[in-house]
Amino acid sequence: MLILHQVFTMQFIKKIIPYVANRYFIVSFGFVVWMLFFDQRDFFQQRERAAELKKVEDAKKYYQKEIESTQKQLDNIQNNKAAIEKYARERYLLRREGEELYLFEDTLHTSNK
Inter-residue contact 36 to 42 (CB < 8 Å): yes
DSSP 52-107: HHHHHHHHHHHHHHHHHHHHHHHHHHHH-HHHHHHHHHHHH----TT--------H
Note the pLDDT tens digit of each residue in 23-63.
888 888 888 888 888 888 888 888 999 999 999 999 999 99
Q: Is the separation of the CB atoms in 17 and 25 below 8 Å?
A: no
pLDDT score of 48 = 92
pLDDT of residue 1: 63
More confident residue, 21 or 5: 21
43 contacts 36 by C-beta, under 8 angstroms? yes
From the CB of residue 71, how many other CB atoms can be counted at a distance below 10 Å?
10
> Which one is predicted more confidently, 7 or 77?
77
Give the model's pLDDT for residue 4.
65
pLDDT exceeds 90 at position 22: no
Contact 48, 55 (CB under 8 A): no
- Evaluate if pTM is beyond 0.75: no
pLDDT for 111: 57
